[in-house]
Structure formats: structure tokens, C-alpha cells
């Protein structure tokens, strides 16, 4: 037992972004073993989403690379050298040419001899605005009967901080797949004033059926904000079968749009006024008992950050 001094923050007020009502496009794409084909396909689906009016576009976890540990190093890109990073270069170009914001799912990132499972965020000017490295790696313990052992940290290093990014389409928090299992991450995003939390993820058939929708609805309703997820399609290449079912959830836990397990572009309307109505109708934040418990975000820099 140690005594730690922590700063007690109140939640940051919601800022008004450039756009408060917009369409989000979710690209549930099929990942193949050919990186260049994946890049071409992702670009086509981003374009299709933009043609349907999406100004914010979300890609899946590991969209340029099958989820196979032996391929991560080969498919990895260096986020500090975009000109030599074909996947990032495409995202930058397409964001700029279509004038959209892209939450770029994840790809393997290489940095100083380490690999990360990282989400790039591009603004409509093609700028790399942010990067989220998956914090909570999916490391199974003792498999239950019928389960296959899986330990992501054998190949991937963990991110060390939450990521919120101010975009034209609002303040967005990012979690990758297993990050969704930790209520603390979504709580930190909510307290930092996020309108939306995006979870690229590739849940498997077992956890997908039981937890994928549940966790998304929960993070939305407990924090009274929007949640969007994007999975690869089930027929993607890789070492395990993927659940699919990319989804957008509103701040009252309502499913606004969802899809099956096949390749699809999912379009959903988001209206941040609903967050305000929801919070005015039931002010959960002010009902919390900070005399009994406190959630502490150790890395939050200032009360309004």
C-alpha cells in the first residue's frame, strides 16, 4: 500500500467542434495477405464512404496486415517517415483529396526496434494529427476448454497513454480492441471532454458474440457519449476468425447502425446535441459521489485538456 498524491480534476466541458452533425463512415473491409491490395481496397472504401456523405471515416484494427504475428514486422510502417510508409501515405493523400477526417484503424508500427498496434489519425489537410498505440494488449491467461492460447505481448509492445484528438468532427478518444474492456479508458476520455470514442477492433467469434456489442453500448451509456467500432470482415486472412459487426452507438446506449460480418461500408448520422440532451435529462456526472470514490487520470495535463 502506497500513498500517492493525485490531482483532482473535474470533467472538461464539451467544446463545440467545427461540425456537430455529420455522417460517419465505417469501412468493415476484408484484409488479405497482400499489403498493396489492402491499401487499394481501403482507399476505395474510404472513397465510397465519402461519396455517401461521410466526413469522418473509421477503419478496422490491422487493416493493412492479417492478424498473424509472423507478418507484423513485414507489414509494419514507421510513423515518423510517412513518405516511406505506403499505408500512411495513402491515408494522408485520400484524407486531403476528399477533405475528410480519417481514424485509421490500426496497422503495425515499427519504432526503435519495437512493434506497436497503432492507430493514425489524419485531418482533411492530410496531416497526421495523432497516433494511438494500443494500451491493453490481449494476453490470455489459462485458456478455457476449447479456447486457443493467445498472447499479443509476445510480439507487440504496449502504448503508454490515452489519445484524444480534436478534429473537425469533435473531440475523439481512441481505443483499440482489448482497450474497450477497460472502463477506465473510456472514463478518462469522457472526463477529457470527448464526444466520441472510436474502437477499431477484431474481436473473435467467442468474445464477439458475448461482448462486442455489450461493451460498446456500455461505454456509450456509462459516459453519455457516442461510440463507434470498426472490425475487419469475417473472411479476412489471419490466424483467427473475426466477429465483424461494426457498430455505432448513441449516448443512451441505442444502436444507431450496425452490420453483419461481410465487407461493408456502414454510414451513420451523428448529432452531438444528443449528448447534451442526454446529460441534461440525467446528469450522471454531477450524481457521482466523489466523496466515496474517485477516478484518477494520472496523465491528464490540465483541468481542460
H or E element, residue 206: helix 205-207
Least Cα distance to 281 among 248, 254, 256, 252 occurs for: 252
Contacts with 288 (C-beta within 8 Å, 6 or more apart), sequence order: none
Provide the CB-side half-sphere exposure for 42 (13 A, CA): 36
Q: Which of 3, 70, 83, 146 binds a copy of itself (CB under 8 A)?
A: 3
End-to-end CA distance of the chain: 30
58 vs 191 by CB, closer to a copy of itself: 191
Residue 287 as a binder of a copy of itself (CB under 8 A): the answer is yes
CB 177 within 8 A of CB 201: yes
Residues 258-277 that bind a copy of itself (CB under 8 A): 277
Q: Which of 136, 192, 234, 261 binds a copy of itself (CB under 8 A)?
A: 136
Minimum CB separation from a copy of itself for residue 47, in Å?
A: 36
Q: What is the DSSP letter of 23?
A: E
Residue 291 as a binder of a copy of itself (CB under 8 A): the answer is yes
Residue 148 as a binder of a copy of itself (CB under 8 A): the answer is no
Q: What is the DSSP letter of 45?
A: H
Which one of 35, 61, 169, 263 is the catalytic residue? 61
263 assigned to active site: no
DSSP states along 147-173: PPP-BGGGT-BPP-S-EEEEETTEEEE
4 vs 70 by CB, closer to a copy of itself: 4
53 vs 303 by CB, closer to a copy of itself: 303
Q: Which of 14, 19, 48, 211 binds a copy of itself (CB under 8 A)?
A: 211
Instruction: Mark the segment that binds a copy of itself (CB under 8 A) among 63-71, 108-116, 263-271, 283-291.
Output: 283-291
Residue 182 as a binder of a copy of itself (CB under 8 A): the answer is yes
8 vs 83 by CB, closer to a copy of itself: 8
For 169, counting Cβ atoms within 10 Å of its Cβ (0-12 exposed, 13-18 middle, 19+ buried), the class is buried
Please count the residues of this chain forming the interface with a copy of itself, following the rule CB under 8 A: 63
Bridge partners of residue 56, in order along the sequence: 24, 101
Minimum CB separation from a copy of itself for residue 205, in Å?
A: 14
61 assigned to active site: yes
- Rounded Cα distance between 107 and 117, Å, is 6
CA angle 131, 254, 277 (to 5 degrees): 85
- Rounded Cα distance between 10 and 30, Å, is 42
The number of residues making up the chain comes to: 305
Residue 235 as a binder of a copy of itself (CB under 8 A): the answer is no
Q: Which of 89, 111, 205, 279 binds a copy of itself (CB under 8 A)?
A: 279
Minimum CB separation from a copy of itself for residue 183, in Å?
A: 5
CA of 295: how far to CAs of 53, 185, 223, 286, 301, in Å? 38, 11, 13, 14, 15
If you search the block for the grid coordinates 509492445, which residue do you land on? 157
Contacts with 10 (C-beta within 8 Å, 6 or more apart), sequence order: 303
Which one of 65, 177, 198, 230 is the catalytic residue? 177
Which one of 134, 169, 198, 230 is the catalytic residue? 134
Q: Which of 16, 37, 73, 140 binds a copy of itself (CB under 8 A)?
A: 140
Which residues are the active-site residues? Answer: 61, 134, 177
Residues interacting with a copy of itself, by CB under 8 A? 1-10, 135-137, 139-144, 147, 158, 160-162, 178, 181-185, 187-188, 210-211, 214-215, 217-218, 221-222, 252-254, 277, 279-284, 287-289, 291-299, 303
Amino acid at each position: 500500500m502506497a500513498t500517492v498524491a493525485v490531482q483532482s480534476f473535474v470533467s472538461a466541458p464539451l467544446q463545440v467542434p467545427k461540425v456537430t452533425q455529420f455522417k460517419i463512415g465505417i469501412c468493415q473491409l476484408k484484409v488479405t495477405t497482400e499489403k498493396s491490395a489492402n491499401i487499394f481496397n481501403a482507399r476505395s472504401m474510404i472513397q465510397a464512404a465519402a461519396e455517401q456523405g461521410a466526413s469522418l471515416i473509421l477503419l478496422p484494427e490491422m487493416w493493412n496486415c492479417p492478424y498473424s504475428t509472423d507478418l507484423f514486422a513485414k507489414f509494419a510502417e514507421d510513423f515518423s517517415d510517412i513518405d516511406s510508409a505506403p499505408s500512411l501515405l495513402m491515408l494522408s493523400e485520400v484524407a486531403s483529396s476528399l477533405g475528410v477526417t480519417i481514424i485509421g484503424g490500426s496497422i503495425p508500427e515499427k519504432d526503435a526496434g519495437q512493434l506497436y498496434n497503432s492507430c493514425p489519425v489524419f485531418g482533411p489537410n492530410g496531416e497526421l494529427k495523432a497516433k494511438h498505440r494500443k494500451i491493453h494488449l490481449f494476453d490470455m491467461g489459462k485458456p478455457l476448454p476449447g479456447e486457443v492460447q493467445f498472447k499479443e505481448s509476445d510480439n507487440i509492445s504496449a502504448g503508454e497513454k490515452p489519445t484524444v484528438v480534436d478534429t473537425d468532427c469533435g473531440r475523439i478518444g481512441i481505443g483499440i480492441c482489448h482497450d474497450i474492456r477497460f472502463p477506465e479508458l473510456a472514463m478518462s476520455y469522457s472526463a477529457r471532454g470527448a464526444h466520441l470514442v472510436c474502437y477499431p477492433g477484431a474481436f473473435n467469434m467467442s468474445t464477439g458474440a458475448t461482448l462486442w456489442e455489450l461493451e460498446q453500448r456500455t461505454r456509450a451509456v456509462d459516459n453519455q457519449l457516442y461510440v463507434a467500432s470498426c472490425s475487419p470482415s469475417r473472411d479476412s486472412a489471419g490466424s483467427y476468425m473475426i466477429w465483424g459487426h461494426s457498430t455505432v452507438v448513441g449516448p443512451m446506449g441505442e444502436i444507431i447502425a450496425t452490420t453483419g460480418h461481410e465487407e461493408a461500408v456502414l454510414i451513420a448520422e451523428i448529432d452531438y446535441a444528443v449528448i447534451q440532451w442526454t446529460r441534461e435529462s440525467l446528469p450522471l456526472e454531477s450524481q457521482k459521489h466523489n466523496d466515496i470514490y474517485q477516478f484518477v487520470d494520472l496523465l491528464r495535463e490540465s483541468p481542460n485538456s
